[in-house]
């Protein structure tokens, strides 16, 4: 299968590298220095147990010349989704599946401006990794990848199962779900609770759940998110939401949230697609969300 991975950051590199063992994979990224490095040296994945492996695969700055792909996996930051898809439409044919495993909310809607909703797959990943250097990533945390169709029909679920099987062949733990909205909301809860707080405090994920003061902030953020989700049509008990967040923190105790990594590397964060999505929906439904809004202000202040 011909697969293009849009975005050669930590998560895109992990999935692209692992998939390259069994599929024809091309990395697509606007960073020309990184693209040249991958073409010459591959992608090095360092595991938490001290092992590492180098994966050889193609990389291009634009998908213009690689032809129509069978599967496109989107890992760019949500603020760049619309422009990235628009600039790489030549690789997306009438039967191409486009899968988003990005953080935040609204990426599927941006993709749907250019791609049939019947060909869009949405999902989450529980893996945690960071960029250690040019073409080098450290894979600190493992977990399931949950995917499903953006529009729930038997035919679209069958398409998700095809993509799921490809991921399984590459060694990923994958679950294909008919209705993935609960999973998507839980992932948003995690991102809202830990991303901004990790950036603002500089703390590891494990410290966010073990420090009583930080966990109290996480809890307040989660409670606001649960109310917004329920107003939007997805009911998730507060204790389930909090346990979901705590489990992610405890499973990756030494990991840093992606927003912290963005800040340390002077990159624009996705705060407006994460806590910002909650704040926007909260206003729409008449729900107060002071904790999420405070985190948004703090992050923007730190970004300058």
How open is the CA angle 76-82-84, to the nearest 5 degrees?
Answer: 50
145 and 26 co-located in one domain: yes
Percent of the chain with pLDDT over 70: 100
Looking at the structure, tell me whether residues 206 and 274 fall in a common domain: yes
Q: What is the pLDDT of residue 258?
A: 86
Structural domain for 51, as ranges: 2-176
pLDDT of residue 245: 97
Is the domain of 142 the same as that of 291? no
Q: Domain containing 32 — which CATH number?
A: 3.40.50.720
Residue 229 has a pLDDT of: 96
Residue 179: what pLDDT?
Answer: 81
Scan for tokens 């507060």, then name that residue.
Answer: 238
The whole-number pLDDT of residue 302 equals 97
45 within 8 A of 96, measured Cβ to Cβ: no
Per-residue pLDDT tens over the stretch 53-70: 999 999 999 999 899 999
- How far apart are alpha carbons 107 and 76 in whole angstroms? 10
Identify the pLDDT of residue 292: 99
The answer to whether residues 186 and 160 belong to one domain is: no
**Residue 47, pLDDT score:** 96
Average pLDDT, 10 consecutive residues per value, the chain (304 residues) = 98 98 98 98 97 98 95 95 97 98 90 98 92 96 93 96 98 94 92 96 96 98 98 95 95 88 90 95 97 98 94
Residue 50, number of CB atoms within 10 A of its CB: 6
Residues 28 and 94 in one domain: yes
Give the predicted TM-score (pTM) of the model. 0.82
Best CA proximity match to 209, nearest among 161, 259, 250: 250
Whether residues 134 and 83 share a domain: the answer is yes
The domain tally of the chain equals: 2
**296 within 8 A of 271, measured Cβ to Cβ:** yes
188 and 167 housed in the same domain: no
Q: Of 144, 176, 208, which residue constitutes the final position of a domain? A: 176
CATH code assigned at 287: 1.10.1040.10
| The two three-digit tokens of residue 36, written as one number | 């040249």
Same-domain status, 171 and 199: no
Q: pLDDT tens digits, residue range 184-231?
A: 999 999 999 999 999 999 999 999 999 999 999 999 999 999 999 999
pLDDT attached to residue 216: 98
Clarify whether residues 171 and 22 are in a common domain. yes
Angstrom distance (rounded) from CA 90 to CA 18: 25
Check whether residue 18 and residue 147 sit in a common domain. yes
Last residue of a domain, one of 146, 176, 206: 176
In this structure, are 268 and 193 located in the same domain?
A: yes
Burial of residue 97 (CB within 10 Å: 0-12, 13-18, 19+) is: buried
CB neighbour list of residue 96: distance below 8 Å, 6 or more residues apart: 68, 69, 70, 71, 72, 115, 119
Shared-domain flag, residues 208 and 232: yes
């Amino acid at each position: 299968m011909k697969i293009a991975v849009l975005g050669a950051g930590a998560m895109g590199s992990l999935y692209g590298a692992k998939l390259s063992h069994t599929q024809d994979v091309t990395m697509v990224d606007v960073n020309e220095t990184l693209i040249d490095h991958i073409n010459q040296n591959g992608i090095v994945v360092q595991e938490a147990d001290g092992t590492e492996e180098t994966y050889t695969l193609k990389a291009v700055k634009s998908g213009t010349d690689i032809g129509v792909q069978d599967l496109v996996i989107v890992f760019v930051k949500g603020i760049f989704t619309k422009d990235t898809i628009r600039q790489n439409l030549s690789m997306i044919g009438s039967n191409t599946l486009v899968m988003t495993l990005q953080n935040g909310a609204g990426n599927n809607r941006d993709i749907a401006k250019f791609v049939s909703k019947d060909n869009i797959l949405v999902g989450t990943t529980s893996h945690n990794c960071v960029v250690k250097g040019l073409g080098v990533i450290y894979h600190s945390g493992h977990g399931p990848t949950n995917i499903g169709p953006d529009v729930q029909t038997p035919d679209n679920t069958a398409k998700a199962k095809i993509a799921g099987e490809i991921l399984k062949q590459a060694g990923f733990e994958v679950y294909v779900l008919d209705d993935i909205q609960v999973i998507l909301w839980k992932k948003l809860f995690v991102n809202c609770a830990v991303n901004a707080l990790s950036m603002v405090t500089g703390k590891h994920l494990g410290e966010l759940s073990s420090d009583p003061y930080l966990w109290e902030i996480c809890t307040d953020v989660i409670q606001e998110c649960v109310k917004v989700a329920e107003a939007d049509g997805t009911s998730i008990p507060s204790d389930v939401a909090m346990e979901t967040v705590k489990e992610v923190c405890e499973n990756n105790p030494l990991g840093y949230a992606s927003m912290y990594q963005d800040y340390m590397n002077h990159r624009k964060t996705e705060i407006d697609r994460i806590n910002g999505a909650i704040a926007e929906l909260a206003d729409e439904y008449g729900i107060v969300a002071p904790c999420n809004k405070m985190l948004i202000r703090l992050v923007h202040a730190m970004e300058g």
